[in-house]
Structure 1
Amino acid sequence: MNILLVDDEELELIQLEYIMQAQFPNWQFYKAPDASLALQIANKTKISLAFLDIQMPGKSGIELAKELKKLYELDIIMVTAFQSFEYAQAALRIGVTDYVTKPIIESELLEILQKYRKSNSQNDAIQDVLEIIHDEYSEKLNLSVIASRIHMNSTYLSRKFQEELGIGFADYLNKYRLEMAKKFLLQNKEIAISVVAERAGFNSQHYFSVQFKKHFNMTPSEYRFNPKFLEGAT
């Protein structure tokens, strides 16, 4: 499920993502500091749930919620530091699902999110696919095999995966493998590139290197010894 977090305070975005990611590790989080960037994200990726700060520079959370609702159906939770009846009325009129107040209390936030744990069987299937990818990315994986394992038609699963995550199965798997390869490159700088490629699930060192350069604009070796990442940042 794709989650959009919008707040002009970076620490609020970090806190929201931190709390939710621990409980919902398969959710995909997108963060934006303002309405403009939030709309760009929402136009490129289908968002299922959005957390919007009510008061932001430029467009308010209420105004942003109205524009998001025009794009497609999604749930919206407003985040506010104010207990205002006027805000509550405005939010209700545009169909906001719920609201949380700042400072965020973890138990209250998780209580609101309980209904999203098992929203429907289709989402459950996508979560199953993501768990398989995250656990077995180094193995030979393809959509047909996974579809068979979760007892679902591969064509249907492919379409639902694209709809839910805004990215195709093969592209997601490739992207995840590349992210894991980045970690391997930094964890042990003595491991050969060919071993990193194999551990990340790539059959060919050449293909791995081409894909790495395409996505990160540097070769695996350049990334490994880039001063920016010497402290282990990814």
Structure 2
Amino acid sequence: MAQPSFRLLLADDEENILKGMENYIRKNTRCFDKIHCAVNGEEALDIIYKYHPDVMLVDVQMPLKSGLDVMKEALAAGVCPKTVILSGYDTFSYAQQALRLGAVDYLLKPCRSTEILQKLESIAAPWLGEREEGPGPEGNIFVKTAMEYMMDHMSEDVNLGMVAEKVGVSTAYLSTLFTQKLGCGFIDYLNRLRIECAREYMHDGRLKVYEIAYKVGYHDEKYFSKVFKKVTGQSPSAYRRNIGIGE
């Protein structure tokens, strides 16, 4: 099944901030195949009517039409995207009004690009990440793809940034998905995956402990032993003895 098209509108009258957000989002996620930018409220409405974006990040205070005006007119036309409002502390009451108009969330300025991207990805995820198979890690295409990549590359120097890039989401959002879908952090899952494979090698009985450690991605036998004991409750040598495999 092909991944559905998903369109994003960014609206902010500070062009340097707008361009920075656009570049950061393009570089760090593949959730949005189309990103449109507007520097005022009228331009934002033109884009909404013409391109029908799915998600909109809009500043409350913009020239010509405010973020609230944009939402009201788009709602009246029946084409309002799912909206995140950008608001300063002195305009927080506007953010509250936006929530009453149906905005899904708000962000207070100043906010980091990572925070903005994670919020936008979380909104896109139900459409892009969830598959018909249902809940759980196998029901989320991002988590499933990450798990498959980690399994295939566990002997390499795998890290969160590398896997997030392969999956096409930000590191912050992938980390959040692991916690939500798997009940553990990225590193904990990677260690559990590696140790489970190490146990299979031990049952085979043909490799020494240091060879097994290397095969599953640990280049320090002592560190491997420490992680193995943390995951299984036994040292590698004790585990081998218990399954009837000699040193």
Q: TM-score range by the shorter chain?
A: 0.3 to 0.5
Tell me the TM-score normalised to structure 2 length: 0.45
- Structure number with greater Rg is 2
Tell me the TM-score normalised to structure 1 length: 0.47
